[in-house]
Amino acid sequence: MASPSKTRLAFQYDGKLSRLKTHVHSVTPFAALEEGNRLLFKQGSDGDFVIVTNETIFHPQGGGQPSDEGIIKSVAAQNAPSSPDTHTSPPPPPPPSSSFQVKAVRMDAVHEGQVLHLGAFISPQHMASGDEVEQLLDQDKRLLYSRLHTAGHVLGSAVRSLLETQVPGFDELKASHFPDSAACEFHGAIEARWKEAIQARVDEYVRGSMPVEIEFWTEDDFRARGLARLIPDRRLLPPGEDRFRVVRIVGAEVYPCGGTHVERTDLCGETRVKKIARSKGISRVSYTVS
């Protein structure tokens, strides 16, 4: 691959972007990737390529959220009109266009801060370093993943508000926001009898149309709000940043989070608590959105 260059995570600053013009940093055949990066893509094949761009609106898989999918297409250079001149040759035609189907996105495991877009060319390959391209998201999948991610935070907020002082050793651990396995995990034994109360609190938060705001905090900002327990590992800071991205559900909880979200809790849609499972001191509360 080309020499390392950190990818700006455009989606973290404007989650409404569904298309973005940027430039290609590198195009690499999947088979030529470093082993550490090939291992990131179980579905990768020798016919695939990996594209790195200067910035991206594609969310890489991580933080419990699936990666975005979509298209990267070349932007043909436009020749400026000129006055007719019989003594000069006509301008050369623009380069042929090229389209690339993005099927998986990951953070680079070898070069810090790069985002790898895995996929295949669906028209002849005519992309190279420096080319201008346009990224286009699969908006239906992005919306679903955003609804699931926000609903996971709503569920976490509801459980904490009810059980933080009721369950010995309570703490929020991790979450999955994948469509077929959405769930939040908590330290402590949450009994099945709490399911109805948790559902009622989730319904209250969703109906309340609570704003979901994106902010950027320093470690001191967390401490000033009495949330020192939430300060993330500094290695999770975005490339070139000194502030952590947080998602604040106004009237509920704050979560350090790099994922995508809907703007209000009611946009999650109906959020149903499926079941509560317990194992070795960990409780897993699964959910769906519809």
Q: Tell me the DSSP string of 135-185.
A: EEE-HHHHHHHHHHHHHHHHHHHHHHHHHTTTSTT-EEEEEE--TTS-EEE
Residues 101 and 55 in one domain: yes
pLDDT at 26: 96
Strands 254-256 and 271-279: unpaired
| pLDDT, tens only, 43-54 | 999 999 999 999
Residue 1 domain-assigned (yes or no): no
pLDDT at 112: 87
Residues 114 and 238 in one domain: no
- Bridge partners of 102, per DSSP, are 70, 119
User: For residue 284, how many other CB atoms are within 10 A of its CB?
Assistant: 18
Nearest to 267 by CA among 248, 282, 289: 289
Q: For residue 51, what are the contacts with CB-CB under 8 A and spacing of at least 6?
A: 24, 26, 27, 28, 72, 100, 102, 116, 117, 119, 127
Q: Which domain covers residue 236, as residue numbers?
A: 142-289
Residues 94 and 207 in one domain: no
Residues 170 and 283 in one domain: yes
Q: Are 114 and 52 in contact (CB under 8 A)?
A: yes
Q: What DSSP designation does 191 have? A: -
Nearest to 19 by CA among 90, 70, 80: 70
Residues 14 and 130 in one domain: yes
- Sign of the C-alpha dihedral computed for residues 183, 189, 195 and 200 taken in this order: negative
Residues 246 and 219 in one domain: yes
pLDDT at 78: 44
User: For residue 288, how many other CB atoms are within 10 A of its CB?
Assistant: 16
Residues 147 and 284 in one domain: yes
Residues 128 and 158 in one domain: no
pLDDT means over runs of 10, the chain (290 residues): 76 94 97 97 95 98 96 73 54 73 97 95 88 97 98 98 97 96 98 98 98 96 94 77 92 95 98 97 97
Residues 90 and 180 in one domain: no
Residues 155 and 279 in one domain: yes
Report the CATH number at residue 194.
Answer: 3.30.980.10
pLDDT at 236: 72
Residue 213 domain-assigned (yes or no): yes
Q: What DSSP designation does 243 have? A: S
Number of domains comprising the chain: 2
Report the CATH number at residue 36.
Answer: 2.40.30.130
Residues 124 and 228 in one domain: no
| pLDDT, tens only, 111-127 | 989 999 999 999 887 79
Residue 3 domain-assigned (yes or no): no
Residues 277 and 169 in one domain: yes
